[in-house]
Chains A and B, each alone.
Chain A
Amino acid sequence: MNRWIGVFGWFAFAVVAGWLVGGCQQVRHQAAARVDVSLRQMQFAPAEVRVHAGDTVVFTNNDIVTHDVTEETAKLWTSGPLVVGESFAFVAQKDVTYYCSIHPIMKGKITVE
């Protein structure tokens, strides 16, 4: 009898643990995350980030000159000028390529998974 109680107990423990772990992972996927991109030495670092839809990408100007972050293809949105130390938050819903319209050689990409 005790043996069966032990087996059932372990089974119940495994089910509960699996539910908790799985549930937490699901919550982690659903919660919007923050991803940082630094503007430094005339580059976006990292130049490419992979995020989930709804995640926030925060761009911070850590360089020595003013930059901006502008959607590249159709100029759909822009941060406007970001002076040194300033940040701009962008909520990613789909893939986007962006650049600095002040220094057009600076380019970056957000991929939504």
Chain B
Amino acid sequence: MNLLAHPMEYAILPKVTIGREINVVTVCTVDHSIRVVTKIKNTMKKTKKKYGRYVALSVALSLLVGTIGVAQESTKLSDPEVAHVAVVANQIDIDYATIATKKSKNADILKFAKTMANDHEAVIKQAAELAKKLGVTPKDNAVSKQLLEDAKKKQKELNGYSRAAFDQAYIDNEVAYHKAVIGAVENLLIPETDNGELKALLENVVPALKAHLAHAEMVQKELTSKK
């Protein structure tokens, strides 16, 4: 199974197999940047803990952009691309909140959704102000496109739930989504960012994301206990 895109590329860490049939290889590319490649395989092997950090990075990205199963995906992003991914990731959660506002009658869910909409709106506003200040135009890229594509599917799925089943599905998705976004921001976007102010903004967003996750888990627990 060849995971290299170009004859000049070479793996800087050996192939690692995780979970069920997923290969992970950290590759040095032609332009000497580093990217993590994931690929579905046919046989099963145990995870090698030695390369856990690289596996975690790849899994976080894969969860976020839904690339498990996609043959090769570059994680190298420029600052305008990082800014765009950040804006898109925030907008997606606002869109989920909009669905919740329309479908749910549960006070906890409605309150949580309102907080998500307001907080992510505030982050987008700050990102837009910073981009304007730095003279940077957020740039569309493979990661943001994949994010939007996956979000579209999830929105369709959420809209399809009955009112009774929606609350659980929404909050479960919020828990999973925030976990994935935290992993991606910490392990992908922050390390990939060169500009100090953009990096600082991303670092400031992490505590808010973690608070959202804790809040979502709290609501999830309350919903489960009422069943």
Q: Which residues of A contact B (CB under 8 A)?
A: 41-43, 63-66, 84, 102-106
Contacts and interface: CB of A to CB of B under 8 A. Distances in A.
Interface string B161-204: 00000000000000000000000000000000000000000001
Contacts of B211: 42, 103, 105-106
Contacts of A104: 215, 218
Interface string B106-140: 00000000010011001100100000000000000
A88 B122 CA distance: 21
A50 to B, nearest CB: 25
B171 to A, nearest CB: 14
B118 A66 contact: yes
B207 interface: yes
Contact of A41 (B123, B207, B218): B207
B214 interface: yes
B115 A64 contact: no
Contact of A103 (B115, B122, B126): B115
B205 interface: yes
- Residues of B contacting A: mostly: helix
A62 to B, nearest CB: 11
Contact of B122 (A43, A66, A105, A106): A66
Contacts of A65: 118-119, 122-123, 208
B118 to A, nearest CB: 6
B218 A102 contact: no
B168 to A, nearest CB: 20
A42 B210 CA distance: 9
Contacts of A103: 115, 211, 215
Contacts of A43: 207
Nearest to B209: A42
A111 to B, nearest CB: 25
11 contacts: A42-B210, A63-B208, A64-B123, A64-B208, A66-B118, A66-B119, A66-B122, A84-B122, A103-B115, A105-B211, A105-B218
Nearest to A106: B211
